[in-house]
Chains A and B, each alone.
Chain A
Amino acid sequence: MDQAILEAFAQTTSWMCLLCIFVGTLWGIIVGALPGLGSVLAITICLPFTYALDPASAIALLLGCYCGSVYGGCISAILINTPGTPQSAATCFDGFPMAQQGKADLALGWATGSSVFGGLLSCIVLIVCGPQLAKFALNFGPVETFALILMALTCIASISKGSMPAGLLSGVLGLFLVTVGMDPVSGNMRFTFGYFKLSGGFELIAVVVGVFALTEVFARAAEFLNNKAPQVAYSGMRFAPWHEWKIRIGLLLKSSIIGSVVGILPGTGAATAAFISYAEAKRSSPRSAGMGQGEPDGLVASEAANNAVTGGALVPSLALGLPGDAVTAVMLATLVLHGITPGVRLMIDNPVAVYSAFIALIIANILMFFQGFAVAKFFARFLRIPEPLLMGMVVILCLLGTYGIRNSAFDLVVTLVFGIFGYILRVFGMPVAPLVIGMVLGTQLELSLRQGLLLSDGNFWAFFNGHPIALALFAMTAVLLCLPLIRYGLERRRAALGQAAPPEVEE
């Protein structure tokens, strides 16, 4: 086994392999930062190159790309209020307000530091207790998955401050939109109205790009016409002083652990992790009042969690051959092409491949730290071009990226329609983020609920019987939802007690 680690180390530190990690990570960051181009696209473009590489380098390239793209999404989330990938949707909530306050460089520093921390911590988790955790993941059947996704949905409540009904409505709309297309259980078409192109449903990225990026562009255009556009200007990346980091170490750790654990559970993914982590930070942070208005806690929670998923997702992929998301699925397929069979025997038959993946992931996280600086500088220059030009470029990039997902012109129409729709929502003060959360989580929520109902012959109460993990998750969800109410009640009581003999009010 030690022999295997040494051999893996030698393989991963070959110049070819290092070059692959370097190129992969940089490529991932850039693709991730461009709105509309997601992790899967970044990896798909790399795919042809992996045929020519040795297995260790091929996996290193893909891992770098994966890691980089999950991180890169935060750059555009912070600078132009558009998550580069859906995984970074929660980064917008505090990242963009910080940028508007002229602290874009600090926001990038927070995001980068948290991403690297989350990524590295998840690597450690992966190495120390990968196989044991993989076994734990197998306790997650449909009921447990449903409970977990439900918990992530509470994030909607955390971010819809101001108008809860509007936020909930927007979230439900998102849940409804994912039901368009093929029913995952019966195979019948829903809400397609006989229009064949709709049978594939709405593409998530097309909608995300529409409601975030295009809506933002429209809003800026309107502000520009009224000459009140706040320009985001910054020169690079800057880290907050150490004492600011120190008070957030607990949060960093907690968010990274949430990310690692959620990453291990197949079928959930980085966006789910970021939402849960954000909701948890909102619940527990002493600075939660400022969250949503540019509080670093929000950035830390979202970015540490989504990058920690990368290491977590490798656990079931490598230990059991069960990919956690589309990206790890591509990675496993690449292993097959190189004659390495993923599955329960991978650790035993090919320990070198497994260890080199671990080492490559660590190196990718470290490289990402430095590349983040370079890319942030580059994007700063990018932002200095006149706003109308910049916004035009954003639109073109968004449409290109959307088209690239499944080469469909229909998705372009979807993006444009949702851009206009999102703008209308915004004008009427309805938040669009819950809609995206609903869509990101909706597919899995529905599938796991219906799978669970199939197994229990349609009896929903069976979900609460004989599923201890699910029960714990349901309880935590209830706490997350009720806590603000309890707090609100307590505050009122305290306020009432504080006033000298408040007059009784008859109701």
Chain B
Amino acid sequence: MKKTFSVLACIMALFLCVSGASAANWPAKNITVLVPLAAGGNTDGLARGLIVPALEKAFGVKALVKNVPGGALTLGAAEVANSKPDGYTLMVAPLGPVVLQTQLRTLPYGKDAFAPIYFIANSPSFLIATKDVPSSFDAMIADAKANPGKYVYGSTGPGTVPHINLIALCKQYGVEMKHVPDRSGAEVMKSMASGTTHFFADAGMYIPRYDLQGLVIFSDERHPDFPNIPSAKEIGSDQRFSVWNALYAPAGTPAEILDKIYDACKDLSKDPEAQKFVSGMGAHFIDMTRAEFTDFVNAEYDKFGGIIKEAGIKLE
């Protein structure tokens, strides 16, 4: 028994040595940054414009973006979740595939398949409406209550954050609206411009760009760029939603490597160029340590879990 234990201890020590050595040598080759979306969107921009240069500058190796779109972002996320946790495969993704899809359907990975590294940027969601909708939130709710099924809301697909956001809102206020999904934010904008849909919940940048109005921002405070749009707290709603992008590694990646990557990225929020880049997307940096970010992911997971359970949403 004692002998077995010492052998095991030896093996473990050896294993620690080996993993320690590989973490010390990291990175010895190019790093792949997987983006579970097609090239050209905001998430892809953050990966190519911020994370890749930061990694290349800090480690002197190439960092390559790999776009793996499809399956509501779960195809790419699954690939990262199932890749070797050696620090050479990372993922830049919005919240959906990590905290939302993992609770909506059966996937070959779960929330815990990822090691959160760095919270990149956050854009609080707004309730965006076309201009023919009453411009005060209360008047809109009263109108929607009086006319069930009159209003239509759009989304970037079933089970996406904008969809869940509006399900939760309708549920809280007891209003009935139709859901007509599109496939991308741009398509939703087209549907709103052509009068098919009236509401959408996403980042505020859509409001001035497409001549729309914002009824409420789903956060505690007003947004400096939109000082006239009331916060959810002011109107007495407990809805809090934002779209955030972050950097992950597969779970099991050595902590030293995660720390190295975190250190390479953490000063991005102080770089004025990077700030400009991010604010151009209607987002802003939030500084979080790795531990804080991990807690944040868990909190978001529980928040969406609660909404999904309460609304009884289940996908197959």
Contacts and interface: CB of A to CB of B under 8 A. Distances in A.
B280 A336 contact: yes
Interface stretch (A93-101, A339-347, A393-401, A486-494): A339-347
B175 interface: no
Contacts of A184: 157-158, 181, 183
B43 to A, nearest CB: 11
Given A51-B48, A337-B45, A407-B66, A322 B71 contact: no
Interface of A: 40, 43-44, 47-48, 51, 138-142, 181-189, 196-197, 199-201, 266-267, 316, 320-323, 326, 329-330, 332-334, 336-337, 339, 341-345, 406-408, 447, 451, 454-455
7 contacts: A51-B48, A141-B191, A182-B158, A185-B181, A189-B316, A316-B190, A333-B45
B280 A200 contact: no
Nearest to A343: B209
B178 interface: yes
B26 to A, nearest CB: 23
Interface string B26-40: 000000000000111
Contacts of A201: 70
Interface string B275-313: 011001100000000000000000000000000000000
A451 B196 contact: yes
Given A184-B157, A186-B158, A454-B179, A138 B210 contact: no
A197 B49 CA distance: 29
Nearest to B38: A326
Contacts of A407: 66-68
B78 interface: yes
A155 B187 CA distance: 26
A330 B48 CA distance: 13
A88 B211 CA distance: 37
B148 interface: no
B132 to A, nearest CB: 14
Given A196-B108, A199-B74, A406-B68, A344 B194 contact: no
Given A199-B71, A323-B186, A406-B70, A183 B210 contact: no
B68 A47 contact: no
Nearest to A454: B180
A408 B68 contact: yes
Contact of B39 (A196, A323, A330, A339): A330
A333 B41 contact: yes
B48 A139 contact: no
Contacts of B194: 138-141
B158 A183 contact: yes
A344 B67 contact: no
Contact of B72 (A139, A187, A341, A408): A187
A139 to B, nearest CB: 7
Nearest to A451: B180
A196 B159 CA distance: 17
B191 to A, nearest CB: 8
Nearest to A199: B71
A426 B222 CA distance: 63
B189 A200 contact: no
Contacts of B187: 266-267
Given A183-B158, A333-B45, A322 B193 contact: yes
A408 B179 CA distance: 32
Contacts of B107: 196
Contacts of A187: 72, 104-105, 157-159, 315
Given A326-B40, A455-B180, 5 more contacts: A142-B180, A185-B158, A188-B315, A339-B276, A406-B75
B152 interface: yes
Of B39, B183, B187, the most chain A CB neighbours within 10 A belong to B39
B104 to A, nearest CB: 7
Contact of B48 (A48, A199, A339, A454): A48
A47 B191 CA distance: 28
Nearest to B65: A48
B178 to A, nearest CB: 6
B183 A447 contact: yes
Contacts of A40: 38-39
Contacts of A267: 187, 190
A458 B121 CA distance: 41
Nearest to B276: A339
A199 B184 CA distance: 18
Of B180, B186, B208, the most chain A CB neighbours within 10 A belong to B186
Interface in B73-119: 74-75, 78, 104-105, 107-108
Contacts of B39: 40, 43-44, 47, 330
Contact of A138 (B42, B193, B205): B193
Contacts of B66: 407
Given A322-B193, A329-B40, A454-B180, A196 B78 contact: yes
Nearest to A342: B209
Given A329-B40, A407-B68, A321 B315 contact: no
B69 interface: yes
Interface in B185-203: 186-187, 189-191, 193-196
Given A321-B189, A407-B66, A200 B71 contact: yes
Nearest to B207: A343
Nearest to B70: A200
